[in-house]
Amino acid sequence: MNSTAVGSPTDELELVLALRAGDEDAFTKLVNRYQSSMLRVALTYVGSRAVAEEVVQEAWLGVLNGIGRFERRSQLKTWIMRIVVNRAKRRGSEEARSVPLSVTQPSREDLGPSVDPDRFRGPDDPWAGHWRSSPPNWAAMPEPRLLSREMLNEVRRALEGLPEKQREVITLRDVLGYSGAEVCNVLTISETNQRVLLHRARSRVRAAVERYLQP
């Protein structure tokens, strides 16, 4: 089963059939392929790494127990991620109930503008609504600075500070590289909703990067 492309229908069908037959290699293959993404997704909902790992373990058991019923109406990847999201959400809300000062952010609507309004010229200006001063050009910035460990930590913190709905969308889209359609399937949200959440999340993370880069 190694000549078929990863995630292609044939490749998936072979894995599903092998797993149903109890093939340990097929299981290991799936684990290697999805484990890291599953952990990342679980971390979106629960406060600690240990709990996230437990969620992933539970999700795998869910996958094993459900594989006989998997009907391939959705992609295997989408189906597995949905199991992770459901388990992680359940654990996340249990945590929120048992820990009064939850590390997870309270869900709050975030309807503010993407960029601080002070960055734009006011209504009395002939150039109202235009930049007061042009945003700096990051393309000229050296890559080691943009991808430094501190920068990655800064972006991680920014992600943690997002409302949960925004965090789940941006994690799947931009951290794990899912398509918009896949995100809608995993989270069962509309395309419009997905886009709005993605927009708010990206705008906030961009602002965090900007703050970090400011001299």
Partner 1 sequence: MTNHETRQMSTDMTCQELVELITEYLEGTLAPTERMRFDAHVRTCPGCAAYIEQMRTTIGILGKLSEESMSAGAERDLLATFRNWKSGGAADGDARRT
Residues of the shown chain interacting with partner 1 in the complex, contacts defined by CB under 8 A:
22, 24, 27-28, 31, 35-37, 39-40, 43, 53, 56-58, 60-62, 64-65, 68, 113-115, 117, 120, 128-131, 133-139, 146-147, 151-152, 155-156, 159, 170, 174-177, 180, 191, 195, 198-199, 202-203, 205-206, 209-210
Residue 131: strand pairing partners: 120
Using the minimum distance from each CB to partner 1, give the nearer residue, 61 or 99. Answer: 61
Using the minimum distance from each CB to partner 1, give the nearer residue, 92 or 204. Answer: 204
- Residue 109 sits at φ, ψ, to 5 deg, of -75, 145
Using the minimum distance from each CB to partner 1, give the nearer residue, 99 or 128. Answer: 128
CB of residue 101 vs partner 1: minimum separation in angstroms?
A: 25
Cα→Cα distances 187→157, 165, 190, Å: 23, 9, 9
Strand, coil or helix: 91: helix
Structure tokens at 184: 């809608």
> Rounded CA gap, 34 and 53, in Å?
13
Using the minimum distance from each CB to partner 1, give the nearer residue, 12 or 87. Answer: 87
Q: What angle do CA 204, 205, 211 make, to 5 degrees?
A: 90
CB of residue 100 vs partner 1: minimum separation in angstroms?
A: 27
CB of residue 98 vs partner 1: minimum separation in angstroms?
A: 19
CB of residue 60 vs partner 1: minimum separation in angstroms?
A: 6
Q: What angle do CA 193, 199, 201 make, to 5 degrees?
A: 100
> Other C-beta atoms within 10 Å of 19: how many?
21
Using the minimum distance from each CB to partner 1, give the nearer residue, 103 or 131. Answer: 131
CB of residue 35 vs partner 1: minimum separation in angstroms?
A: 6
- Residue 120 sits at φ, ψ, to 5 deg, of -110, 155
